[in-house]
Structure 1
């Protein structure tokens, strides 16, 4: 048993997990990233003290059910695989705080994710998501959601009903209009760059925006009773041509 209760077998080109690892019953962290794994042995269930499991950068087309039996897991890395769905048994991981499912083949966010009541951070970027389920609002502990590189054509309405969110990342989607986010009291950062939008999301004072027009106010401003429209154009207009001053000859 390792003294630090951690085993790191990342980048070993493994096709199967060495079975003797499953005998380390006090193991807390197991890193299996960047291998060629597509299944896990049922003996993995013996690691009931495991809190961190990294399975990213492998060849999983489905999440092995045995992972869902590791009920002490707090952090689960599943990014850069070939997952098209997640099993319903994932709901058994009620201690999960961080879930990485980025760079998979998900066309919709599995609703079972909405049953992970203690989830604080969700990384779901670089999939093919077009919408988010309304049940996501049930995750009242969720503080950070990363959705960059998906197929969202509108800002997910459910996020407008999640006042506890602190970070929202919708970079590199297809969102054309952003609603106001000024009513979200917990918001600290919104990333919306690389969208074909014509406006920046309105946010409360002190909230950082990353994207086009992030330093400008997209709404009209009033001055002396008149409304001055702020024109937002992709290319600034050239300055008007001026006539050269006529040379004045000395008398």
Structure 2
């Protein structure tokens, strides 16, 4: 534990120093976030934190939709003199509706929200177990009315599997059920064709190639949460995102958008 804490401190010092010296690189950056802070929602403070985050990014970047980011990357339409940022959010916490989406709209932007359908409007017991899986304790999910309203307002609603399970731990039939059923519920609720998917936990070890083969039966666009120095993984079959949260030191955020992507 002491070694881990020391490594974390060294990493934070490095990111703070390096981030303050680096300059954002032109290209398309897809950011993967979850919430404004890890704590219980504070509408006033969290609103301020997320707006400061967007304002800071807007000084050097243009915000684009996930659809435009996906199109540009797939068509190799990467700008040589602009920093373009698209926002995505996993898990479907209520603050996505009450804080995040309104502020994205204030900056004339729309995001993508990857939803676990069984979490929406779930009971307290289910929420408690779900929150254990995502290593938080105080968050609440959106309601279906909120998810539907985000969709109507132009945000992307994507799939994140039914229960936020780890695909690497499931059998093929369980994987297929988690994918197929979540897609069915979202499409029935929103009356749309659900093409976007981001796998839970985000790392390659959570998404073996055999799982990718199954996922491609149900979704056109598949997103990781890792390998951000490259636009693609799995030979062009997966789009990579960079995980960062609004409450992180901005020098850390700046460091990650200062990476020249391949």
With normalisation by structure 1, the TM-score equals 0.30
Structure-2-length-normalised TM-score: 0.29
Pick 1 or 2: higher relative contact order, CA cutoff 8 A, min separation 6: 2
Q: Who wins on radius of gyration, i.e. which is larger? A: 1
